[in-house]
Structure 1
Amino acid sequence: MEITGIISALVVGLIIGALGRLVVPGKQHLPIWLTLVLGIVAAFVGGAIAAIFTTFWLFVLIVQILVAAAGVVLVDGLYSRRR
């Protein structure tokens, strides 16, 4: 991955985290910083998964949002049990 890809994944990851949180129904107990970190991770993971299958940007975006939503659900479950 080139440096422009990394920088764009960071920027898009912030948006992906917010979208992933919006996709999950109900109230989440995660702080906003953790949601943004999940979005950045989801941007990298979702981009890598989608790159295996296609380079169509809309498919990559959808996969990234789904990965972020799954991350929000998993981490929210762990975070709420911990508190």
Structure 2
Amino acid sequence: MFQIIWIVIVGAVLGVLAKMLLPGKQAIPFWLTVLLGMGGAWLGNAVAGWIGVRHTSGIDWIRHLLQLAGALVLVGGGASFWAGVRHKD
């Protein structure tokens, strides 16, 4: 149960950070920001595993940066997709 709560918290933090770092306004709802942040965390963990830096001694800075990069990609892409869906007539 606590793991699910932790995943949601990390997704929210990564999603909000991604929205702050991306230029312009990402007009997506908060729930989508959290989901995309969670996806970014998963993507960053996968890439960290593929390149062999998922588990290191100390703080896993590379893994955390990869998670943020994943969130940036997903939030940026998700905001573009959301804008297209919301403005269709």
Residues 61 and 5 of structure 1: CA distance in aligned 2, closer, same or farther (over 3 Å) = farther
Is residue 21 of structure 2 the alignment partner of residue 18 of structure 1? no
- How much has 1:51 moved relative to structure 2? 2.0
Aligned to 1:37: 35
CA distance in 1, matches of 2:5, 2:50: 20
Post-superposition shift, 1:16? 1.1
Whichever structure has more helix as a proportion of its residues is 1
Distance 1:9 1:45 in 2: 13
1:75 equivalent to 2:84? Answer no
Structure showing greater radius of gyration is 2
What is the aligned length? 81
Give the RMSD, CA atoms, in angstroms: 2.0
TM-score by length of 1: 0.81
Deviates more, 1:12-21 or 1:35-44: 12-21
Identity of aligned residues (%): 30
CA distance in 1, matches of 2:3, 2:47: 15
Amino acid at match of 1:45: L
Structure 2 distance, partners of 1:8, 1:77, is 27
Counterpart position of 2:50: 52
List gaps (5 residues or longer) in structure 1: none
**1:58–1:23 distance in 2 versus 1, CA, 3 Å:** same
